[in-house]
């Protein structure tokens, strides 16, 4: 029970890595808020957790809309009094090479992946500052560190998340709040299912562990950063990629 007594809010918790994380955190004793714009999947995820006896709650939110995020934060704080752990996990891709990428595709990915992380963190940071504690964990990507063909927009957001995380680690550390990022490699979720099979095969040859990551591999990294085991870890980017880039 590594998260006993803590409340964790997981954006994008209705599917993929976020959903696995919600289940793992509930198993470790956390009160879990799944915040997602997919209402049906989010409510299904919560039902599954409630059936296992967890304290879990769904909030419908579009992280790219600051008004929606403000309401999410108010609902979470009204229900549980505090959010101890924020997992900024919601993210999307809209891939195209630079020459073909439209401004719309650029702005949409920035709006969800980068502005969304800013909105969610800003909406909850005041209550963390008041309480003198909190853990902010944001999902970057290997692509934010090394780049990837067809992902100008996505790479910019994930590199931005690393920059924000290091800034928050410096700004908020003195207030008892830690900020860290996780940079997954290629993880078997809907996001990777959209990649061409040929690209996945090429990727597998480069991964020393010779497999894609599983959502649980990333959920475990979030768990470490959410638990007191990481109390002296601040401003780091934890890479979870099977050694794809060494």
Residues forming contacts to ligand NAI in the complex (CB under 6 A) are: 11-12, 14-18, 36-38, 61-64, 89-92, 112, 116, 139, 141, 184, 186-187, 189-192
Q: Cα(78)–Cα(123) distance, rounded to whole angstroms?
A: 13
37, 80, 119, 154: which is the annotated catalytic residue? 154
Name the minimum Å distance from CB 61 to ligand NAI. 5
At its nearest, how many Å lie between ligand NAI and the CB of residue 64? Answer: 5
CB of 130 to ligand NAI, least distance (A): 26
Q: Closer CB to ligand NAI, residue 35 or residue 54?
A: 35
CB 92 within 8 A of CB 158: no
Comparing CB distances to ligand NAI, the nearer of 163 and 173 is 163
Q: Is residue 222 annotated as a catalytic residue, yes or no?
A: no
Q: How far is the CB of 148 from ligand NAI (least distance, A)?
A: 10
Name the residue nearer to ligand NAI (CB basis): 76 or 90. 90
Are 109 and 153 a contacting pair, CB within 8 Å? yes
Closer residue to ligand NAI in complex, CB, 53/190? 190
Measured CA to CA, the distance from residue 193 to residue 176 in angstroms comes to 39
**Three-state DSSP string of the chain:** CCCCCCEEEEECCCCHHHHHHHHHHHHCCCEEEEEECCHHHHHHHHHHHHHCCCCEEEEECCCCCHHHHHHHHHHHHHHHCCCCEEEECCCCCCCECCCCCCHHHHHHHHHHHHHHHHHHHHHHHHHHHHHCCEEEEEECCHHHHHCCCCEHHHHHHHHHHHHHHHHHHHHHHHHCEEEEEEEECCECCHHHHCCCHHHHHHHHHHCCCCCCECHHHHHHHHHHHHCHHHCCCCCCEEEECCCCCC
Kindly tell me which of 166 and 175 has the beta carbon lying closer to ligand NAI.
166
Q: Which is nearer to ligand NAI, 150 or 184 (CB)?
A: 184
Q: How far is the CB of 80 from ligand NAI (least distance, A)?
A: 19
Report phi then psi at 82, rounded to 5. Answer: -160, 155
| Minimum separation from the CB atom of position 8 to ligand NAI (A) | 15
Residues noted as catalytic: 154
């Amino acid at each position: 029970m590594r998260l006993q007594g803590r409340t964790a809010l997981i954006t994008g918790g209705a599917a993929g890595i976020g959903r696995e994380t919600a289940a793992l955190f509930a198993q470790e004793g956390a009160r879990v808020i799944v915040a997602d714009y997919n209402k049906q999947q989010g409510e299904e995820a919560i039902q599954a957790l409630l059936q296992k006896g967890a304290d879990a709650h769904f909030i419908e939110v579009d992280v790219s809309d600051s008004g929606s995020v403000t309401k999410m934060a108010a609902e979470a704080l009204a229900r549980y009094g505090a959010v101890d752990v924020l997992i900024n996990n919601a993210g999307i891709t809209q891939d195209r090479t630079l020459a073909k990428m439209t401004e719309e595709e650029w702005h949409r990915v920035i709006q969800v992946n980068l502005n969304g992380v800013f909105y969610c963190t800003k909406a909850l940071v005041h209550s963390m500052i008041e309480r003198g504690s909190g853990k902010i964990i944001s999902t970057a990507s290997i692509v934010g560190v090394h780049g990837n063909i067809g992902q100008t927009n996505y790479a910019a957001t994930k590199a931005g998340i690393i920059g924000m995380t290091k800034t928050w680690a410096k700004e908020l550390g003195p207030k008892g709040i830690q900020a860290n990022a996780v940079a997954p490699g290629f993880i078997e979720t809907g996001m990777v299912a959209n990649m061409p099979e040929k690209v996945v095969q090429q990727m597998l040859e480069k991964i020393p562990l010779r497999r894609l990551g599983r959502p649980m591999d990333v959920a475990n990294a979030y768990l470490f950063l959410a638990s007191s085991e990481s109390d002296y870890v601040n401003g780091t980017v934890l890479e979870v990629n099977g050694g794809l880039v060494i």
